[in-house]
Structure 1
Amino acid sequence: MSDAPKPVEISTDGACLGNPGPGGWGAVLRYGDVEKELSGAEPDTTNNRMELMGAIQALNALTRPSHVILYTDSSYVRNGITKWVNGWIKNGWKNSSKQPVKNMDLWQELLEAEKRHTVDWRWVKGHAGDKYNEIADTLATTAARTLKG
């Protein structure tokens, strides 16, 4: 039997009413039988920024270094953090077209948030019945709607 602690499972999502427009992010953190829901909103943002913010805020909410399985329906977030970011850093935060990386500020925040943890980044198909992805989506959409009035 392993004495390794259970991983924290996190499902995140972002939403935007218009792109750009009012946006929201949501996250569901699960550890054993404990669940915690987080959400927030920004008045003028993009969907990709909200997807990133969900992951950043969820990782920052953990009070100690953890093994995390993070589920996102954003290929942009998963590919960015697992495949592209090291190249961007090496190239002075320029993409393959030699243009500045979009959302560099949030990518840097995500790298900082991820540092304390061991994160297994997993993609999940959005709007396909995954319970926690649906909850995160509802949290993000509800948060964005609070700004739309």
Structure 2
Amino acid sequence: MLIGLEQYQLETPYRPNGWTVRQVIHHLADNDMNAYLRFKRGLTENNPLANTYREDLWGELIDYKKLPVENSLSLIEVLYHRFLVLLNELSIEDYKRTIQTEVLGIITLETAIQRFIWHNKHHASQIENLIRREKWKDI
């Protein structure tokens, strides 16, 4: 989806006052790292607190604005491979383990994975809709 986008396109917000495509990609990498670590803690600790972070403020840091998206895309690729290896070895009982969140309260790891997938699809849709709306390419 991002292949062939120009720099100015990566600097385009997906909506007025929203993040740029570049910021969304870096956010996905950071969010996925956090989700992976929360998930692993859920497998190894008894109902750990899944810490939150100020994603709005992280999105304003210089790495979100300056680093090439390829850095985060490479990170996401490696992280997904590790996550997949882990997920493929889990039992049904493992998915019933819980983590504690500030917003949702106690959730199972099964729910955590569903939210992880939804989150990534949500942001991918934002970028896809921008590309379609601006007619940058057919997707």
| Shorter-chain TM-score tier | 0.3 to 0.5
Q: Higher relative contact order at CA 8 Å, sep ≥6: structure 1 or structure 2?
A: 1
Report the TM-score when normalising by structure 2: 0.32
TM-score (norm 1): 0.30
